[in-house]
Amino acid sequence: MQIRVLLADDEPVILRGLKKLISWEALGFTIVGEANDGNELRQVIHDCRPDLIISDISMPGCSGIDVIRELHEQSRQIKVVFISAYQEFAYARQAIQYGALDYLVKPVSKKHLEDVVSKAASLIRQENEGERTKEMLNHYERKNRTVTIEELLDGLMDGDKRAAGQLIGMGAIALSRYTGVCLLETDEETGGDSRWEERERKLVHFALNNIIKETLEGRDNCLMFHKDGRFGILTQYEQLGEPLKLAQDLHGKINVFLKLKVSVGIGAAVSGIEAADESYRLALEALKTKYFTGLNGIVEAGVEDVAYACEIHNITELQSGIVKALSSQNKEQLIQTTGQLMDVVKHMAGGSKHLAITNVYNTILLLEQEMESIGVQIGFFRDGQGSLLERLSSHATFTGVVDEFTSIVQQAFDRIAHKLANKEITQLRQIKAYMEEHYAENITLESMAALIYMNPYYFSSFFKKHTGKNFKQYLTEERMKHALRLLLESELMIYEIAERVGYNNARHFSDMFKKVYGKLPQEYRQSGVK
């Protein structure tokens, strides 16, 4: 290492001489600054951070004694060598008392300067090496202590009561009113294989480790540990709510600075460090509920979901309600019942992902069976039963399962609507063909409804929906179309035409004709309109 040296003298010729007198670089020194008076020396010391100062003992502004006294009071580890005139010898001895390494008497000789700076270099290197060794020993001591504490915390979470006593004996923890455990884990949204490679995982772990340590610095009541791939924090506190504040602070920093989604589970408060394993277990249970509550959040153990206000229905009743809404094509009722069913499934699962998925899967199976019974092929399981279960299980949260179930129900609704539409079109063609052929007969709405086995009231709305006209209007227009043809292409009398298109009363026929074409039949014939 190159030693940083600072030269100071109020005589420029002395400064130039010092720089040229010896080969500084060959001796391992780098001249980092110069000063011409005491005040300037203070500033250059601050700016250049030298390891060694070679300075005239008496300069304008402030003396070398003032400077070395300040360094001594500030405990700065800077070596100082003074240059003095013979008459300043007593003055130089005073400087030695404040820690000056040596003094040089003017005029400075090359050999004397080399001897002094070599001595300074040796001391500086020894001290630096000693500091590094000391720091290394302290590092290993801290590291070993940290490892020991982590091992004890791991045992404590497994219920080892002796670990509590050892932690107290080490001074790692203090006695507090409450003890609690917070657990943090990353949210990987695939629900299956990890989306992180091993290298990325290590980087994420390193970054999380650092930000948690920084957040806990200055908090004497918190200890971090790692267990089963999660980060844990043992916290001791006096006021309820403190773990939540800590979790919110930590969660916010991770979201903002690391751009990571993480979930934090907060275990319930327990009395005494010996019961920390109970808080740990509850924190684990809280984390499991993130499947239902959502990712990237904070979950407190024992805090119920007060947002659930709908009445708990029987699952079987709700499943039947969905089938009924599908069959009747009541979309509003379908949406409402589907939402109620998913809420019931969620809360009956009791935090169990497996139970929730099983109930949803069984409901889909029931829907397919019911749809097949009315001739609608849905094909939810066409890729095999396993594939549907895999799809449902692949979702990171229950929200994904709800979305998939809602999509499946919508598919069923659309399939039924399509089938009904095709059936109704066929029925409409049948009705139109019959009316085209039998328009002259006594056709009624009731007889047409009976022809396709439909309730007359439903047939009326069915006919209007597909034709845009009511049944009587459509029949009249059909008869008038044929009447017009006969009027223009034959010499039949008006009453004969009326009979041929289904009217027994010629006057009534004429009134209907005028309503459609704007003229009475005879007037229309005489006008020669083609």
Judge whether 326 and 335 are in contact, CB under 8 Å.
Answer: no
Q: Both tokens of residue 174? A: 């203090």
Judge whether 43 and 88 are in contact, CB under 8 Å.
Answer: no
- For the entire predicted model, the pTM comes to 0.51
Residue 183: strand, helix, or coil: strand
Q: Both tokens of residue 112? A: 């004397």
pLDDT tens per residue, range 277-331: 999 999 999 998 898 988 999 999 875 443 343 444 578 889 888 988 887 788 8
CA distance 413 to 418: 9
Instruction: Give me the pLDDT at residue 316, please.
Output: 86
Segments of the chain scoring below 70 in pLDDT: 86-98, 130, 133-143, 189-196, 303-313, 373-376, 378-386, 528-530
Burial class (CB in 10 A: 0-12, 13-18, 19+), 204: middle
Backbone angles phi, psi at 56, to 5 degrees: -60, 140
Half-sphere exposure for 376 (CA within 13 Å, toward CB): 24
Which of 90, 25, 20, 15 is CA-nearest to residue 55?
15
Instruction: Give me the pLDDT at residue 381, please.
Output: 54
The DSSP code for 453 is T
Burial class (CB in 10 A: 0-12, 13-18, 19+), 400: middle
Give the helix ranges, DSSP H, for 170-240.
198-216
pLDDT tens per residue, range 19-68: 999 999 988 999 999 999 989 998 999 899 999 999 988 888 888 778 88
DSSP sequence for 350-402? TT-HHHHHHHHHHHHHHHHHHHHHTT----TTTT-HHHHHHHHHH-SSHHHHH
Cα-based angle 270, 273, 277 (whole degrees, multiple of 5)? 70
